[in-house]
Amino acid sequence: MKVLIADDEDYTREGLIEAVDWEKFGIDEIMQAVNGAEAARIAQWFCPDIVISDIRMPQMDGLAFAEQLIQYNPDSRIIFISGYMEIEYLKSAIQLAAIDYIEKPIDLQALDRAIARAADEIRRIHQGKAAVAEHRELQQQKLFRLLTDKEVDERTLDKLFQETGALVKNGCFQCVAAILQNISGSDMKHAENRVCALAEAPANDMAEHRTKQIKEFIKAAGFGVVASYRAEKQQYEFVIAYPEKEEYRLLPLYQHILDKMPGLCIGVGVEAKNWRNVHNSYKTADMAVNCAFYQEDRRLFVIDETIAQKTFINPSIYGEFLQVMSESVSRLDQWCRELFEQLGFRKYYRREQVYTLLTSFLNALYQKYPYLYDACPQIRGEEDIAAHVMGLGTLAEIRELFFLIVDFMKEHQQEQSGYSRIVCGVQDYIEKHYQEESLSVAEIAEALHLSPAYLNVLFKQEMKMTLKQYLSNYRLEKAKRMLEQGYDKITEIAEKCGYASANYFAKVFKEATDVTPVEYRRQTGGGEG
């Protein structure tokens, strides 16, 4: 609770501050004013719960100040003090519903009783308002769920419109979804810290405060908040009503809200010409704010009704991941890069789907490679994986986590293989580019920032073969695996393994194995090519 003490005598104000045990009344903020005019100015922004005011003060007396106070803050409780017990002052105090009228010199026990009575009344007022607000909020939520349902019960709708005091059903409507992001990448200095540190979720009262602020901005712009709903811990949704042809004012309003509220993202649904189409606006608003997960550089998302309907991830992708995971780290790296590119492009996938999918990938990796628990300190057990992924606010942050882990796997593989960094770099580059016919020693050397001659010397010293021989052997081994599987044609295998033609592939293969590709396929049970 807050107290304002107004008196032109310094020793009176300071004496009251020192003499009264404010804490026992639940009072934790105190302001002072030297006259009624100053008290009136302070009260407008300070909004005191209790006012202790002298009556006779310069510029504006206590009675005039109290008359102004109750106009803009009627819940304030007033205690008058005065060195003069005049009947007219007493009558005025009674008319202003003052808690008490205490004569100077002040009886501290009498003042204590007056403050206690005022504090009790303030608490009852706050409790009553809280109960009303809670009831109104519940009714608004009911109204929101009804409006956004495709099958609307009009009779129940009419009743809720009346109970909530919402605008009438006439006019246009628009659904807006607002989400408070967990963390911002720009706020963290190091990627490892960003992806390995769960952002602390905002406190409940902070989220409620943000919602209240949004409603106030909407109302201040002249629009009505028909209903609201807390969809998730950090996501709130609103139904806004406005007159026809006033839609052009909405986008500037949303941008104004974003300018005033950092960390907030807003998704805007399509316009509903009447209450029967609010459900469609709700659906598109939810899809729009979902885009914030994919595009961390934007905060306002407007969606179109013509969005592609394919918004579900193919479940077979998990099996594909398991296959890639069993091949090599470099292949996993390449596949994951393609996956995240695809997810970013298909930005209408539901966040929940992506979280579930990527969590399942990480579970599979950690089960197969327990040493990964050393990659991210915040993940200590299987139960931590899902919580950690869900704590990351954007796809970009999850991507960074993935490649932190993949890089850790590469380093571990390098340590286990005993090969140098340069050799591992060559192997990695070849694995990613062996399908390219033009791949050469010069290209690999350039990628590693070395001269071709120097790279050849280093590679041969360590691998006991030339880089060209290694590339040739690598392509041959890949071709053998494809031939054994028996699905691709010989010409297709030649192309996939970086050979200029099927004839050249057959020549190189026979020189290395003494059999043709077709014969090798038959011998290994791969079938006819």
User: Under a CB-based contact definition with an 8 Å cutoff, are residues 255 and 123 in contact?
Assistant: no
Residue whose pair of structure tokens reads 């060559």 in the numeric block: 426
291 and 259, same domain (yes or no): yes
Q: 96 in helix, strand or coil?
A: coil
66 lies in a domain? yes
User: To the nearest whole number, what is the mean pLDDT of the chain?
Assistant: 80
368-380 per-position pLDDT tens digit: 888 888 888 888 8
For residue 262, the 8-state DSSP code is: T
153 and 285, same domain (yes or no): yes
b/e map 150-167, b = 16+ CB within 10 Å: eeeeeeebeebbeebebb
21-31 per-position pLDDT tens digit: 999 999 989 99
96 and 162, same domain (yes or no): no
428 and 406, same domain (yes or no): no
Q: What is the pLDDT of residue 140?
A: 65
b/e map 459-490, b = 16+ CB within 10 Å: beeebeeebeebbbebbbebbbebbeeeebeb
281 and 350, same domain (yes or no): no
* Domain end marker among 69, 91, 125: 125
Q: What's the domain count of the chain?
A: 4
Residue ranges making up the domain that contains 465: 421-523
Question: Is the bond preceding 58 in cis, omega lying within 30 degrees of 0?
Answer: no
Which ranges constitute the DSSP H helices of 47-147?
A: 62-72, 87-95, 108-147
Q: What is the pLDDT of residue 508?
A: 93
121 and 260, same domain (yes or no): no
290-344 per-position pLDDT tens digit: 888 887 778 888 875 445 444 567 778 888 888 888 877 878 888 888 888 878 7
User: Under a CB-based contact definition with an 8 Å cutoff, are residues 248 and 165 in contact?
Assistant: no
pLDDT band at 346 (very low <50, low <70, confident <90, very high): low
117 and 213, same domain (yes or no): no
pTM above 0.95, yes or no: no
289 and 183, same domain (yes or no): yes
The CATH number of residue 111's host domain is 3.40.50.2300
Give the count of beta carbons closer than 10 Å to the beta carbon of residue 255.
Answer: 13
The CATH number of residue 482's host domain is 1.10.10.60
282 and 153, same domain (yes or no): yes
Pick the range with the lowest mean pLDDT from 14-18, 128-132, 199-203, 453-457: 199-203
6 and 87, same domain (yes or no): yes
How far is residue 489's CA from residue 152's CA, in Å, rounded to a whole number?
A: 58
Here the tokens at position 497 are 């393994």
170 and 253, same domain (yes or no): yes
What is the 3 state secondary structure string of 387-445?
HHHHCCCCHHHHHHHHHHHHHHHHHHHHHHHCCCHHHHHHHHHHHHHCCCCCCCHHHHH
* Domain end marker among 296, 328, 360: 296
